[in-house]
A and B are shown apart, each in its own frame.
Chain A
Amino acid sequence: MGRYTLRRLLQLIPVILGTTFLIHFLVWNLPGDPFAGRCGERPCNPAYIERMTELYNLNDPLIIQYGKYLLNLLQGNFGEDFRGVPVAETMAEVWPNTVKLAVVALSIEIIIGIGAGVLTGLKRGGFLDNLVMISTLFLMSLPVFVIGYLLQLTLGLQLGIIRPTVSPEMPWSELIVPGFVLASLQVAFTARLTRASIAENMRADYVRTAVAKGLPRRRVVGVHLLRNSLIPAVTFLGTEVGALMAGAIVTEGIFNINGVGQTIYRGIITHDATAVVPMVTVLVLVYLLATLLVDLLYAVLDPRIRYE
């Protein structure tokens, strides 16, 4: 497994190179002047353009430009945005917020998704099962922003149960509803996946054996059945980290959370690529590492899987 992990880590290098190059190319070298409309009504100050051009080596051929940019990144020099704020500073400010939101979302996904899946899988056709099946259908068919605005409107503005937007200090309690919105789609998928997996494995021979061994039902379900039924859900959680990050753009927007999604979004609509490239690069890295982590976890959960 050690060698496998090492190989997977080495594979990250070309992927990172490829993605950063692509992103760099897309934001700096698409047709059109990157400075158009940057400085209000008037064209930009030549001194400013010159400074940015030099900072990002915009006069060099594309490949050199990219090489120099990458070298800067490696040295921890993330450049600065069009307002002159160092990108590293922005990153340090927004990443913790998004991570906090993602942790809440992932916890909700695991607790509610797997919990509901286990309960309904054990007893299909009951009231709880119908409730979960219908509500997950809702969650899956409604776009995230609809769910977000709906909850903000009802819980926040009409009922006043939550603050409509999250305060800048990002207290955990205020993140529950945004976290749920962000996780909504995945909660639904996880619940249904776990439900199907529990229902299928419940009939498995080894579960019958566990009962025949005289184990209490709690142990049959909680140890023997659950451990096997979690495998598909865990695989799913990993691949969904990417979707979670994409969903963050919308959720952060609705609840006014100063996070990665918001920053990237702002960067894109204001044509300020400076922050977008490093942010997305880190996103890609997070996604790849999460996938690797899940693959390794998969092997831990299911000993029949061996990575060579």
Chain B
Amino acid sequence: MTEMISTQSRPAGEAGRNYSGSLLEVDNLLVEFHTRQGVAKAVNGVTYSVDAGETLAVLGESGSGKSVTAQTIMGILDMPPGRITGGEIRFRGVDLLKLPEAERRKIRGAGISMIFQDALSALNPVFPVGWQIGEMFRVHRGTSRAEAKKKAIELMDKVRIPAAKQRVNDYPHQFSGGMRQRIMIAMAIALDPEILIADEPTTALDVTVQAQIMELLAELQRESNMGLILITHDLGVVADVADKIAVMYGGRIVEHASVHELYANPAHPYAKGLLESIPRVDQKGQELYAIKGTPPNLLRMPSGCAFHPRCPYRRDNCVTDVPPLYEVDGSRRSACHYWREVLDGTAG
């Protein structure tokens, strides 16, 4: 009892400083949306973790619950209609979901920060970019206006925005898409967060710009040793930068593996399908493989394994039995009853 109280009254930054687990752990998270049509189970027991200096890629089709999980970590979920029905999110061992809002707020932006897909709409259109970056220092650290502006210019330099000093008073609409995303990044790393969540940071950008942004993120991560959660629906984007991958389907993690393992030999039919649908140089001209069928309806999830209606490995028990996350080896997991066959490559 005493222990619990002391943990809660200390700032989260202090609590769990000596925690031996991972820096950020999402543990069996459950999130639902209550809508007019019914209850959509957007996140159904997601578990993943990130350490300092580590990059976790969260991969999955649109609607698989990647953003909702991230929003729950940040504490920016729309509630209602959203509702967290179970699980824990531990940051240095402290469950963020049990933290009072005032404590939680101090972690946002300072301990864990986030960048979004569409920087144009994510930045406030009526304030200069330097002002928006500097706001991090003014609000969290009580820095003076002039000092905050100086820091904003330094950060804009750091994310390589040309002529930062001249552009600090410009507005978001005066920048190109790539530059705007750099501004988002500058804002997110302003306070040296330990975890950075990037939710499809390059999806809205041109291919050449995509690569530059990924490079920048990887570089910043190396410099500051922060943990990076990279959300994407495009496996090609993360291959070079990610250490491990969590593949999501229907609000669940269906495969968890190192990038190397997943690329070499996926252990879940859905991950395998995703891999095969990446355009490859050696297959030029060939028709691209696409996973048959449509993503599951969250209001009426398929029985058993949610992927079974689309699965080439399907057997009878897939329709009835929900597969647990089988331990493939070490930290590798697959939520497929027939992961051995998938690994062997023999279609059921």
Chain A residues within CB distance 8 Å of chain B = 203-206, 208-216, 219, 224, 227-228, 301-304
Cβ-defined partner of A302 (8 Å) among B74, B125, B140: B125
| Chain B residues positioned under 8 Å from A301 (CB to CB) | 126
Please provide the 8 A-B residue pairs with the shortest distance between their CB atoms, ordered closest to farther: A214-B108, A214-B109, A205-B121, A206-B124, A213-B109, A303-B171, A205-B122, A209-B122
B117-155 near A? 1/0 per residue, CB < 8 Å: 010011111110000000110011000000000000000
For residue A213, give the distance in angstroms from its CB to the closest CB of chain B.
Answer: 4
Contact partner, A228, options B75, B125, B171, Cβ 8 Å: B125
**CB–CB B122/A304 < 8 A:** no
Contacts known (A205-B116, A205-B118, A303-B171); A212 close to B125, Cβ less than 8 A: no
B113 at the interface (CB under 8 A from A): yes
How far, in whole Å, are A277 and B214 apart by their CA atoms in the complex?
Answer: 69
Other-chain contact of A224, B76, B124, B136 (Cβ < 8 Å): B124
C-alpha gap A284/B227 in the complex (Å):
63
Minimal Cβ-Cβ distance residue in A for B74: A212
Q: Is the CB of A212 within 8 A of B76?
A: yes
CA–CA, A216 and B171, complex, Å: 23
Q: Is the CB of A206 within 8 A of B121?
A: yes
13 sampled A-B residue pairs with Cβ under 8 A: A203-B78, A204-B121, A208-B76, A208-B122, A211-B108, A213-B113, A213-B187, A214-B110, A215-B105, A216-B139, A227-B126, A228-B124, A303-B126
Q: A212 and B124 in contact (CB under 8 A), knowing A205-B116, A219-B139? A: no
The answer, yes or no, to whether B173 is at the interface (CB within 8 Å) is yes
Q: Point out which of A213, A227, A304 has the most chain B C-beta atoms below 10 A from its C-beta.
A: A213
Cβ-defined contact, B126 with A228, below 8 A: yes
| Interface size, B (range) | 20 to 34
Measured in the bound complex, the distance between the Cα atoms of B267 and A269 in whole Å is: 91
Interface string of B93-114 (1 = CB under 8 A from A): 0000000000001111110011
Cβ-defined partner of B116 (8 Å) among A209, A215, A227, A303: A209
- Alpha-carbon distance between A224 and B139 when the two chains are bound, in angstroms: 13
Cβ-defined contact, B140 with A214, below 8 A: yes
Question: Which residues in B have their C-beta under 8 angstroms from that of A212?
Answer: 74, 76, 108-109, 113-114
Q: Which residues of A lie under 8 Å from residue B78 when comparing CB positions?
A: 203
Interface centre among A208, A212, A219, A224 (most CB of B within 10 A): A212
* Partner pick for A209 among B106, B110, B123, B140, CB 8 A cutoff: B123
Q: Are B139 and A214 in contact (CB under 8 A)?
A: yes
Q: What A residues does B121 contact at CB under 8 A?
A: 204-206
Chain B residues near A227: list those with CB within 8 A. 124, 126-127
Given contacts A212-B74, A216-B139, 19 further A-B contacts (CB under 8 A): A205-B116, A206-B123, A206-B125, A208-B76, A208-B122, A209-B124, A211-B76, A211-B108, A212-B109, A213-B136, A213-B139, A214-B110, A214-B139, A215-B109, A215-B139, A227-B126, A228-B125, A302-B125, A304-B173
Decide yes or no: A214 and B124 within 8 Å by CB, A205-B118, A208-B76, A303-B171 being known contacts: no
Contact residues of B with A, CB < 8 Å? 74-76, 78, 105-110, 113-114, 116, 118, 121-127, 135-136, 139-140, 171, 173, 187
Q: How far is it, in angstroms, between the C-alpha of A214 and the C-alpha of B116 when the chains are bound? A: 15
Question: A304: shortest Cβ distance to chain B, in Å?
Answer: 5
Bound together, the chains give a CA A224 to CA B114 distance in angstroms of: 18
Closest CB in chain A relative to B309 CB, distance in Å: 33
Which residue on chain B has the smallest CB distance to residue A231?
B126
Main secondary structure of the interface of A (DSSP, over half): helix
Distance from B13 Cβ to chain A, minimum over Cβ atoms (Å): 12
CA distance A301 to B124 in the complex (A): 12
Max chain A Cβ within 10 angstroms of own Cβ: one of B113, B114, B122, B140: B122
Give Cα distance in the complex from A228 to B123, angstroms.
12
Tell me the complex Cα distance, A216–B104, Å.
Answer: 11
Contact between B125 and A304, CB atoms less than 8 A apart = yes
Residues on B with beta carbons closer than 8 Å to the beta carbon of A206: 121-125
CB distance from A226 to the nearest CB of B (A): 10
Could you say which residues of chain A place their CB within 8 Å of the CB of B74?
212
Which B residues touch A211, using CB under 8 A? 75-76, 108
Q: Which residues of A contact B110 (CB under 8 A)?
A: 214
- Which B residues are CB-close (under 8 A) to A228? 124-126
Complex Cα–Cα for A24 and B168 (A): 54
| CB of A232, distance to nearest CB on chain B (Å) | 13
**In the bound complex, CA of A280 to CA of B74 (Å):** 59
Give the shortest distance, in Å, between B201 (CB) and chain A (any CB): 13
Note all chain B residues with C-beta closer than 8 A to A215: 105, 109, 135, 139
Q: Quick one: closest A residue to B101, CB to CB?
A: A217
A215 and B102 CA atoms in complex are apart in Å by 10
Minimum Cβ distance to chain B for residue A241 (Å):
24
Please name the residue on chain B nearest to A205 by beta carbon: B121
**Chain B residue with minimal CB distance to A228?**
B126
Cα distance, A209 to B185, chains bound together (Å): 12
Report how far A219 CA is from B136 CA in the complex, Å.
12
B231 to chain A, nearest CB (A): 14
What separation, in Å, do the CA atoms of A215 and B187 have in the docked complex?
Answer: 13
Residue of A nearest to B184 (CB): A209
How long is the Cα–Cα vector from A212 to B190 in the complex, in angstroms? Answer: 13
Docked CA distance A298–B15 (Å) = 48
Contact of A210 (CB < 8 Å), options: B113, B118, B124, B126: B124
Smallest CB separation, A225 vs chain B (Å): 9
Bound CA span A144–B123, Å: 43
Once the chains are docked, how many angstroms separate the CA of A205 from the CA of B125?
A: 11
Which of A210, A216, A219 has most B Cβ within 10 Å? Answer: A210
Contacts of A204 in B (CB 8 A): 121
B105 to chain A, nearest CB (A): 5
Rounded to whole angstroms, the CA-CA distance of A213 and B78 in the bound complex is 16
Q: Across the interface, which residues of A come within 8 angstroms of B113, CB to CB? A: 212-213
In the complex the two chains form, is B105's CB within 8 Å of A214's CB? yes
Nearest Cβ in chain A — how far from B85, in angstroms? 22
- A36 CB to nearest chain B CB (Å): 59
